[in-house]
Amino acid sequence: MSLYDQQYLDIAARILEQGYFDQNRTGIPTYKLPHQIMQFDLSQEFPILTTKKVAFKTAVRELLWIFKEQSNDVRRLQEQNVHIWDEWMMEDGTIGTSYGWVVKKYHQVDHLIEQLKTNPQDRRMMLNLWQIPYLDTGALYPCCFLTMWDVTDGRLNCMLVQRSGDWGLGVPFNTTQYAVLVHLLAQVTGFQPGLFTHVINNAHIYENQVEGIRTQLGRRDQAFDAPKLWINPEITDFYQFTDRDIKLIGYQHLDKIKMEVAV
């Protein structure tokens, strides 16, 4: 069993068994637990679920849309057959001042890469999407809003802080995406990928996802080992990466489990 399946399923079971049940802004009640944490050594294993299929290419395309293209234009995702932002698309075809827009506004990726290359012991290295003046003009407050970066003994470490984590749909996507981001930034700055710690402030399972989560929990004994991540070794400029440069090798998984997204 992959370490990600183990940690993810353990927390899923705790949410169902111990979670606080209440309403929220979507109108679909959740079981929720605060302050859930998963940690992985990316030199040992790439975190992606095997107890259900995770749409890896879709996750990578969204990641590049946010941090490489630094775009808010949903139509650019739709051109790549990615529709995860369709429900939040505004009249102008964008998500307003959210995610990629605020990354570009403050040149955040450029600043981080410069810090990693010139002052890797800086304790102020982060990407912060929670920019208060621009929250209400975006389509959705960012869920994964903060990454904090550290270099220790030649290894690039990252802590991802997520204010709200949809355990059934969002969290598996987000863990995998940001693990990819660590690998990409490590390659272009000359480090090895190190620790990746995923902190979720509000980890929740929607009431209409419980059946799907229970199905996945029942697959624990069928889990596979984790796949390997391949990144094109010739790319040294972060802005040159495409989804063709990022692949999984040996990704074995069980069938997709359909769950509803809460808007």
DSSP, res 224: P
- For residue 41, pLDDT over 90 is answered with yes
pLDDT in tens, 4-28: 999 999 999 999 999 999 999 999 9
Q: Say how many Å lie between the first and final Cα of the chain, rounded.
A: 32
Kindly report the pTM of this predicted structure: 0.97
pLDDT in tens, 123-143: 999 999 999 999 999 999 999
State the Cα–Cα distance between residues 21 and 236, nearest whole angstrom: 47
Residue type, 137: T
Q: For residue 21, list its beta bridge partners.
A: 31
* CA-to-CA separations, 53 to 85, 95, 169, in angstroms, rounded: 20, 27, 11
**Pick from 157, 185, 162: nearest CA to 172:** 162
Q: Are 55 and 63 in contact (CB under 8 A)?
A: no
- Inform me whether the pLDDT recorded for 47 exceeds 90: yes
Q: Is the pLDDT of residue 260 over 90?
A: no
Pick the CATH number of 3-249 from 3.30.572.10, 3.30.830.10, 3.40.50.2300, 3.40.50.720: 3.30.572.10
- Confidence at residue 198, expressed as pLDDT on a 0 to 100 scale: 98
Contact of 36 with 192, CB cutoff 8 Å: no
Of the candidates 215, 228, 196, 208, the residue with the CA atom closest to the CA atom of residue 254:
215
Count of C-beta atoms within a 10 Å radius of residue 132: 6
Active site positions, annotated: 143
Q: Are 7 and 38 in contact (CB under 8 A)?
A: yes
Q: What is the DSSP string of 233-259?
A: TT--SGGG--GGGEEEES---------
pLDDT at 56: 98
Predicted local confidence at residue 112, as pLDDT: 98
Show me where the domains of the chain are located.
3-249
Here the tokens at position 98 are: 């959210």
The residues near 27 (Cβ < 8 Å, ≥ 6 apart) are: 262
pLDDT at residue 97 greater than cutoff 80:
yes
pLDDT band, very low/low/confident/very high, at 263 (cuts 50, 70, 90): confident
The pLDDT value recorded for residue 261 is 85
Residue found by looking up tokens 């570009």 in the block: 104
For 10, 18, 146, 170, the CA distances from 163, given in Å and listed in that order, are 20, 20, 9, 12
Q: What is the pLDDT of residues 206-224, one digit of tens each?
A: 999 999 999 999 999 999 9
Residues of the chain with pLDDT > 90: what percent?
98
Q: State the average pLDDT for the chain.
A: 97
The helix/strand/coil state of 222 is helix
